[in-house]
Amino acid sequence: MKKLILSCWLVLASTTHGFATPLSASKTADMRIALDDLSLALADNGYQLIKVQTIDQALVKRGYADPGIRLAFIGKEAHIQQALASNPALLNLLPLRLTLETDGQHVRISSDDLTSWRERFPETNGVVQGWEDELAAILADYANQ
């Protein structure tokens, strides 16, 4: 609870007039702890961590500034069957992606904007809403650890 009061927030926002606001959660952590906590949250929600893309290290290694960003690709086998049954265009969203962004003290994790997909492909609403609900649960678990 203390952690919550001190450092956590969770935003579950919806699109307004097409300007998207993805799901996100933030707390005091460094990247290593954030990834550990995210891994636990994924496991607790039946997700696999497919790949961590260290954008920060890749850019720094080549002499660019550190953007403080890593990507986590996550998923469940069931998502593929759901996409195929709903609209195969959804395959382009899989595996799902989370962006981890640090300011040195906090790590904010946010999803891609899935709302625009629901809006553009109304027949996918149930499937994509289900994925958003799962992502919201994962981000809540991350924030509360």
Partner 1 sequence: MHTLFKSLLVFVLAMSAFTARAGEPELLIQFVPGSHIEAVTEKLKAAINTHNFTFVRQQAIDSRMVPPDWEAASIRIVYFCNFDKMDNALRQDKRAAQLMPCRITLIEDSRGVNLIAVNPAWVSEQWNAPESHEKCLNLKHDYVAILEETAL
User: Which is nearer to partner 1, 67 or 126 (by Cβ)?
Assistant: 67
Question: In angstroms, what is the minimal distance from the CB of 81 to partner 1?
Answer: 10
Question: In angstroms, what is the minimal distance from the CB of 36 to partner 1?
Answer: 18
Rounded CA-CA distance 145/143 in Å is 6
Residues of the shown chain interacting with partner 1 in the complex, contacts defined by CB under 8 A: 15, 18-20, 22, 48, 50-51, 53, 55, 58-59, 62, 64-65, 67, 69, 71, 75-77, 80, 84, 87-89, 91-92, 94-95, 97, 99, 101, 112-113, 116-117, 120-121
Question: In angstroms, what is the minimal distance from the CB of 96 to partner 1?
Answer: 11
Tally of CA atoms within 13 A in the half-sphere of 51 that contains its CB: 7
User: Which is nearer to partner 1, 4 or 60 (by Cβ)?
Assistant: 60
Question: In angstroms, what is the minimal distance from the CB of 67 to partner 1?
Answer: 4
User: Which is nearer to partner 1, 4 or 126 (by Cβ)?
Assistant: 126
| Cα angle: 58, vertex 93, 74; to 5 degrees | 60
